[in-house]
Amino acid sequence: MTTTSPPTRLHSFKPINFAFGVAGLALLIASFNAIEFDIFEILEGGPRLTRLLGQMWPLNFPAVPRLLDQLWITFLMAICGTSLGIVISLPLVLFAARNLTPHPIVRFVVRTFISFCRTVPDLIWALIFVIVVGLGPIAGALAIMMDSIGFLGKFFSEASEEQDVGPQEAIKAMGGSRLDVAMSVVLPSAMPAFTSDALFAMEKAVRASVILGLVGAGGIGMELKVSMDLFQYETAAMIILLIFCLVVAVEQVSNRLRGAIIGGH
């Protein structure tokens, strides 16, 4: 029999960890209190939900041709916004990626701009562009563009930084400039990652473009808001179903393309 006694049960116990645990629990309780969370109140909403679902049936099929038009505009809005985001993000990489930037201060400034684009929610960008360019899909496309710059600027830069330094050094050693390194080494090497990121941005943009309509940025979202406001729940349900189909279709196509690109790589 061993004479060594077992270690204490709470051998990793530290007062600071305990304090963080208690603080986290207190924050959680305070949060539920602040939103006046009441499970019985939620259960009381059950019959109202059933009534709403009943009002959504039968779906408004005659409105489908008109809704498909709006859905198409929503999709095109996402395509335009993402494409503009890609076109603007690519040159930003030359300044934001550590291996390509001319100076750390330039990198800091460009990275800050990219972070700003990302941290402002797309709904806020949409509100701003609705004021600037008026109601309609252009405001939505510009909002998606800003959001895509924030997303793609970060991911394109990170993908550039992850590329093998050997070929980059070879181009520098033969007197190549930063632009030469970017165009001849980084861009072709990081292309699969760039394409994959751009497809993610596209999926994200399609989902966002639906919501943007709620604040007047055009597309199917505007139709959804009008239907809800006018209690036309059967039309709203049809819109939700069409949005679901669009998002799933875009995700499927995007997944297949991504698989083909990564597989080809």
Residue 221 Cα to chain centre, angstroms: 17
Q: Tokens standing for 148?
A: 């895509």
Q: Tokens standing for 101?
A: 């930037």
Q: Are 93 and 182 in contact (CB under 8 A)?
A: yes
List the one residue from 109, 167, 247, 257 that touches other proteins (CB under 8 A).
167
Q: Tell me how many residues contact other proteins (CB under 8 A).
A: 22
Reference 92, options 160, 46, 45; nearest CA is 160
Q: How far is the CB of 174 from other proteins (least distance, A)?
A: 5
Nearer to other proteins, 120 or 184 (CB): 184
Q: Does 169 bind other proteins (CB under 8 A)?
A: yes
Q: How far is the CB of 162 from other proteins (least distance, A)?
A: 14
Q: Does 164 bind other proteins (CB under 8 A)?
A: yes
* Site map (CB under 8 A) of other proteins, residues 109-148, x = contact: ----------------------------------------
Q: Does 50 bind other proteins (CB under 8 A)?
A: no
Which residue stretch of 16-24, 109-117, 184-192, 201-209 sits at the interface with other proteins (rule: CB under 8 A)?
Answer: 184-192
Nearer to other proteins, 47 or 175 (CB): 175
DSSP 14: -
Nearer to other proteins, 127 or 187 (CB): 187
List the one residue from 106, 191, 230, 262 that touches other proteins (CB under 8 A).
191
List the one residue from 46, 62, 104, 166 that touches other proteins (CB under 8 A).
166
What's the CA gap between 40 and 171, in Å, rounded? 68
Q: Does 262 bind other proteins (CB under 8 A)?
A: no
Q: Does 99 bind other proteins (CB under 8 A)?
A: no
Q: How far is the CB of 187 from other proteins (least distance, A)?
A: 8
List the alpha helices (DSSP H) in 8-164: 15-34, 39-44, 46-55, 64-96, 104-119, 122-133, 137-161
Instruction: Go through the chain and tell me how many residues it has.
Output: 265
Output the CA–CA distances (angstroms, integers) from residue 29 to 12, 32, 186, in the order listed.
Answer: 26, 5, 49
Nearer to other proteins, 182 or 250 (CB): 182
DSSP string, 175-242: T--HHHHIIIIIHHHHHHHHHHHHHHHHHHHHHHHHHHGGGT--SHHHHHHHHHHTT-HHHHHHHHHH
Which residue stretch of 35-43, 146-154, 162-170, 233-241 sits at the interface with other proteins (rule: CB under 8 A)?
Answer: 162-170
Q: Does 162 bind other proteins (CB under 8 A)?
A: no
Q: Are 150 and 124 in contact (CB under 8 A)?
A: no
Q: How far is the CB of 262 from other proteins (least distance, A)?
A: 13
Residue 90's contacts (CB-CB under 8 Å, 6 or more residues apart) are: 156, 194
Note the residues at the interface with other proteins (CB under 8 A): 164, 166-167, 169-177, 179-180, 183-185, 187-189, 191, 265
